[in-house]
Amino acid sequence: PSVRPEAPVLAPRKTTRQIQVGDVAVGGSAPVSVQSMTTTKTHDIGATLQQIAELTAAGCDIVRVACPTDKDAEALPIIAKQSRIPVIADIHFQPKYVFAAIEAGCGAVRVNPGNIRKFDDRVKEICEAATDHGVSLRIGVNAGSLDPRLLKKYGSATPEALVESAVWEASLFEEQGFKDFKISVKHHNVVTMVEAYRQLSEQGDWPLHLGVTEAGPAFQGTIKSATAFGALLAEGIGDTIRVSLSAPPVEEVKVGTKILEYMGLRERKMEIVSCPSCGRAQVDVWELAEKVENGLKDITAPIRVAVMGCVVNGPGEAREADLGCASGNGKGQIFVRGKVVETVREDAIVETLLRYANQMAEDMGEG
Ligand code: SF4
């Protein structure tokens, strides 16, 4: 349930064909899904399943695991079976692991043709195995492993080079009558990445997996992903996303789900609207906003909470929100859906907001 009308949609989604990654549909009219990738050794089954459970709890829809060794391939059947969300095996270099992953019950397999020698010779077999087991694929083109012929032709991993590589590889599968795959064309540069996806989206109806590769540590990677995905999603491009961060993967999921919420593509959860503070502030807004955010972090109901530093915009914003406070003179006026319900001492603002938020969440059946 949403407490206010849904935000307007930025652009209609581009029509892509729909594929299945396990029980999650990707493309077509399916919701844009959030992916992440485990950082555990895949053969450490307990640790990997534990991390997958944490990612699932954070809102991850699909999880990818690396499969660089025989031991990792042997772990895939148990991981695929026990994970509550579909598992994608990530394969580079070794075609034998593609077949192992398909047979292990993974929802999909990510292949990077640029990293598999004599890949073209194996396409028919891969298509047959994937079809037999109802497994989809991701063709993952990456700036760092682009076909040397294309690098020579374009001089660097330009959008055109990434797209030519992807379209060529897609054609190898389609010549076999195989269509259950999505494509990514990742680059660490936001502008190159956005342009590559735009061009790719023009050339076919493949479902697209968005990613900025090697996006960097959390601060930089969050901004790169938000700007790149925001630009593309605003044009209706993108069917599934993975935020890459040099940080714990749960952070990737948190950022990914928030990007979708703010783009109006996923139901909004709890949101804090807080002012930046200025010379008029009569309370430490930053500290108060942080305390409110921490206090309300377990609330998942779509409640908008305003935290404002003074009476200039405070009461107005607080009234617009579902719940809010406007501070001044050591006190906080508490608003619930536009009405002042009580005035409390500054040190009681957080607990009072939390009490009302819990009540609202309960009323919405999400307490
Ligand atoms: Fe400044 Fe008040 Fe606006 Fe906050 S609400 S930015 S303190 S004028």
Rounded CA separation 215/228 (Å): 11
Cα 44 to ligand 1 centroid, rounded to whole Å: 51
Q: For residue 281, how far is its CA from the centre of ligand 1 (angstroms)?
A: 6
**Considering only CA atoms, which of 267, 199, 198 is closest in space to residue 229?**
198
Q: What is the pLDDT of residue 314?
A: 67
Segment holding 328, helix H or strand E: strand 323-328
pLDDT band for position 100 (cuts 50, 70, 90): very high
Q: How confident is the model at residue 300 (pLDDT cuts 50, 70, 90)?
A: confident
What are residue 155's phi and psi, to 5 degrees? 85, -25
List pLDDT tens digits, range 323-340. Answer: 998 888 888 989 998 888
Higher pLDDT residue, 142 or 82? 82
Q: Compute the mean pLDDT over every residue in the chain, rounded to the nearest whole number.
A: 91
Three-class SS state of 87 = strand
- Report pTM: 0.89
Does the annotation flag 325 for ligand binding? no
Q: How confident is the model at residue 4 (pLDDT cuts 50, 70, 90)?
A: very low
- Nearest-CA residue for atom 3 of ligand 1: 313
Amino acid letter at 339? K
C-beta of residue 224 within 8 angstroms of C-beta of residue 212: yes
At 96 the three-state DSSP class reads helix
Mutate to test the pocket of ligand 1, among 272, 277, 288, 311 (most ligand atoms within 8 A of CB): 277
Q: Which distant-in-sequence residues (6+ apart) come within 8 Å of 219 by Cβ?
A: none
- Locate the ligand 1 atom nearest the alpha carbon of residue 313 and give its number: 5
- Expressed in angstroms and rounded, the spacing between residue 172 Cα and the centre of ligand 1 is 58
**Do 310 and 328 contact (CB within 8 A), yes or no?**
yes
Say whether 60 counts as a known binding-site residue. no
- 139-191 confidence digits (pLDDT tens): 989 888 888 889 999 999 999 999 999 999 999 999 999 999 999 999 999 99
* pLDDT tens per residue, range 241-284: 999 999 999 999 999 999 999 999 998 888 898 989 898 888 88
Q: What pLDDT shows up at residue 89? A: 97
* Mutation probe of ligand 1 site: the residue of 272, 284, 285 with most atoms within 8 A of C-beta: 285
Asked if pLDDT for residue 226 goes beyond 90, the answer is: yes
Phi and psi torsions of 136, nearest 5°: -95, 170
Q: Which residues contact ligand 1 via a Cβ below 6 A?
A: 275-278, 280-281, 285, 308-310, 312-314
Query: Cα(328) to centroid of ligand 1, in Å?
Result: 11
Q: What is the DSSP letter of 338?
A: T
Q: What ranges make up the beta strands (E) of 198-267?
A: 209-211, 240-242
Specify whether the CB–CB gap between 232 and 192 falls below 8 A: no
In this prediction, residues 114-122 reach a mean pLDDT of 70
310 is in an annotated binding site: yes
Indicate if the pLDDT at residue 1 is higher than 50.
no
Atom 2 (ligand 1) nearest CA: 310
Q: Is 275 annotated as a binding residue?
A: yes
Look at residue 117 in the predicted model and tell me its pLDDT. 62
Does the ipTM exceed 0.95?
A: yes
Q: For residue 3, is pLDDT > 50?
A: no
Kindly state the percentage of the chain with pLDDT values over 90: 68
The ligand 1 atom at the shortest distance from the C-alpha of residue 311 is 2
Question: What is the pLDDT, as a whole number, of residue 121?
Answer: 76
Whether residue 32 has pLDDT greater than 60: yes
Which residues, including other chains, have CB under 8 Å from residue 173's CB and lie 6 or more apart? 123, 127, 137, 139, 179, 181
Ligand 1 centre distance from Cα of residue 259 (Å): 26
Q: What is the mean pLDDT of residues 222-233?
A: 97
